[in-house]
Chains A and B, each alone.
Chain A
């Protein structure tokens, strides 16, 4: 049994980290083997500091659970709080899957058509896919919607954040499919504005209707519009300047109405 113990002054200096390297090594060797000196050293360590370090370890391990795409987005500058909101949007997995599956199906089916039929097919589905993706993200908010409604967060910001996250996957996929389909090419860009207008319309409807009804309504409206173009033999004209301007105006109106709806007192769905 070791009868020798480090002097109080040395223990205090060791804990404070003010010993020179040789003395520090010597004291540390003894402290690791002598329980009595270890206890004395431990007693001199400020407890709040230990608690603080432990707290940091706990916080660090508990909070590090962002999925990979969000970790990448965080490195690119996505604020921490936005990452937490997107992480909680569990249904975003569904729209991402829906976008990928939809784009693949879209590409496969697209090769079956040629000429005017292919343009009609693209016109039918391309603007609709991002809008349907957005409606599916709203199911995700259901589990905590009641709670979200009573918090002070900006609901408009959350809705738009989720929309951007969903559309950022759906839109590029639709564009890529359009560009690789031989009969579509650069005309794929012509459906960005209809897609934007439909997405904003869907967001508007979501302040009145549930997600599945909204998806049904915009699908029927869009199919009706496209079939009317087809009946008038005007499918190619849909990519023209006049139609593009009309969709620009429609998207603008829809955006204004959306802001009014989301900030109004009686807006349903907990957005107000």
Chain B
């Protein structure tokens, strides 16, 4: 970790009296950080808090050295150092791809027109949308719109790039290309990636955080996460009794996470997905036991 890009201290978030993010302490340095968790785990809440899209209920958040939970000037300074891709994004009507990015660049205070236009063209090129620049957003495909939404998050050199489900709707080639781009951004800053795609995490992330029911259940390297499930993943002709999760693989055999293996089962090296399922169910069990 070369520099601290974001810091959360005792951050909580409640909606109507329900705490959806419990007291959270996190420090982000350079690199790609994967945020895994089921729907409703609090991933989007965490990302939105860091993006300054909403204030926390309590706690302190610092982005690029600026306390966003403090004065407005500090928040504005932090916003200049971050970029954000919401899970769902709307586009103003009748706008072209170039026009949309130009608008976002203005909102990000790119004052010089030529410089702003160059940056817009750069990120359009990065996302392979240069030929689409004069097309109306409404005429773009779902994948092209998603790439356009990602492009706005790549403008400038942000210290903190916050991406909520960026690869949804992208084909494998585009996902591979995006991984390359995000790696380059991670050299100088943090890329926080909320996703359900465990293969993106294994391919890209230096660090993974598993969030469930507003609590962090794992925070460490991908290697450490996989190590958690070592000896817990089995391949065999039938499901392990008591397996946390199991499914039929392409070879026709059954892959079981946890449970009691039969004599015909053999252990296999866990993948990030296995480890995620294992850690998550393990924590659900411990939550259930404590109730």
Contact = CB atoms under 8 A, between A and B. Distances in A.
Q: Check if A and B associate.
A: yes
Contacts, number: 105
Interface of A: 55, 58-59, 61-63, 65, 80-81, 84-85, 87-90, 140, 142-144, 146-153, 263, 265-266, 270, 272
Interface of B: 48, 51-55, 72, 75-77, 79-80, 82, 84, 86, 89-96, 98-100, 102-104, 106-109, 111, 113-114, 117-118, 120-121, 133-134, 152
A142 B98 CA distance: 20
Given A59-B114, A59-B117, A84-B106, A146 B89 contact: yes
B121 A55 contact: yes
B113 A152 contact: no
A90 B92 CA distance: 6
Nearest to A82: B106
Given A65-B96, A88-B103, A146 B86 contact: yes
Given A144-B92, A150-B84, 11 more contacts: A62-B96, A62-B98, A62-B134, A81-B106, A81-B111, A140-B92, A144-B104, A147-B86, A150-B52, A151-B107, A272-B55
Given A63-B102, A146-B89, A152 B117 contact: no
11 contacts: A58-B133, A63-B98, A63-B113, A65-B98, A87-B103, A143-B89, A147-B84, A149-B54, A150-B52, A152-B80, A266-B55
B92 A89 contact: yes
Contacts of B152: 147
Contacts of B80: 152
A257 B12 CA distance: 29
A152 B92 contact: no
Given A55-B118, A89-B92, A265-B72, A150 B102 contact: no
Overall SS of chain A's interface: helix
Nearest to A63: B117
A4 B72 CA distance: 72
Contact of A150 (B82, B98, B106): B82
Contacts of A146: 48, 53, 86, 89
Contacts of A142: 90
B111 A144 contact: no
A147 B92 contact: no
A30 B107 CA distance: 52
A268 B14 CA distance: 15
Contacts of A150: 51-53, 79, 82, 84
A150 B56 CA distance: 14
B40 to A, nearest CB: 18
Nearest to B120: A62
A150 B79 CA distance: 6
Contacts of A58: 121, 133
Contacts of B134: 61-62, 65
A58 B52 CA distance: 34
Contact of B72 (A80, A85, A90, A272): A272
A133 B234 CA distance: 65
9 nearest CB pairs, A to B: A143-B90, A152-B79, A151-B107, A90-B93, A59-B117, A62-B98, A88-B103, A150-B51, A150-B84
Contact of B91 (A144, A148, A153, A272): A144
Contact of A88 (B53, B99, B109, B113): B99
Q: Which of A65, A149, A151 is packed against the most chain B CB atoms within 10 Å?
A: A151
A146 B93 CA distance: 16
